[in-house]
Amino acid sequence: MKGPRIRGLIIRIVALVVVGIAIVVTSESDAARYSYDSTVIPENSIPKLDRQTYIFLTEYGKQLQDLSYTYGVDWRLALAVLRQESAFNPEATSYKGAEGFMQLMPETGLWLASLHNVEDISSPVANIQLGVIHLRDMLRDFPEAEGENRLELAVAAYNSGLSRVQDAQAVAEFLGDNPNTWPSVKSALPLLSKRFAPLQKHIWRTGRPTSGYFGGYDQTLVYVENVMHYYNIYQNVLHR
């Protein structure tokens, strides 16, 4: 009877060892696939790459990186925008009609596609391409902004529209603030709502912002905060 008992004990020990190895490998985090310099940043200080991001990068990571490189955009910023826009769902559609990974409005997608000879705009990769181009264009529209301010202004414009951010810049400048910093524009965005019409009459001849009153500023503020949060995580976890 000792023989079977010993064999059973050995089998249990081997099984426990195998399970232990599997747990260690799994707990390394998905970030191990996208290595970082652990001599600069200790591993335990880096957030793990979440499963949604990992799955998206497994299927579309190479395309996103190549397209971002082509158009001069940090692919990790594009990834953060994509995550906030669609939560990595290629079939996502907003109540306003924005579509795909990068949640482009149909007219914006068609316009960009015509400029860049993109034929099948319904494909997920084409949606990523046009979204990266759109983000690149937003970044170019704030040449006077520096560093993170430029990124935040571009991200705000991606969400609310360029003219909205430019209206907020006009308010910031009127108030004596620097229109090329995100904190100044962030403070000015709420002043585009209708209840600040008395102020707006001193800025625009029409008495209202160029793009009309803006009541959705809360959404834009949260949007920028979320995108930059994801971007900071991706900067720590993913190589450029």
What are the catalytic residues?
85
Cα distance between residue 17 and residue 209, in whole Å: 67
Cα distance between residue 141 and residue 55, in whole Å: 32
Contact 53, 236 (CB under 8 A): no
Angle at 106 between CA 115 and CA 111, to 5 degrees: 15
What are 93's strand-pairing partners? 99
Angle at 217 between CA 167 and CA 221, to 5 degrees: 105
What are 99's strand-pairing partners? 93, 104
Cα distance between residue 207 and residue 200, in whole Å: 6
Instruction: State the distance between the two ends of the chain, measured CA to CA, in whole angstroms.
Output: 61
Question: What's 50's DSSP letter?
Answer: P
Integer-rounded Cα radius of gyration of the chain: 24
What residue type is 135 in one-letter code?
L
Phi-psi region of 57 (alpha: psi -120 to 50; beta: other; left: phi over 0): alpha
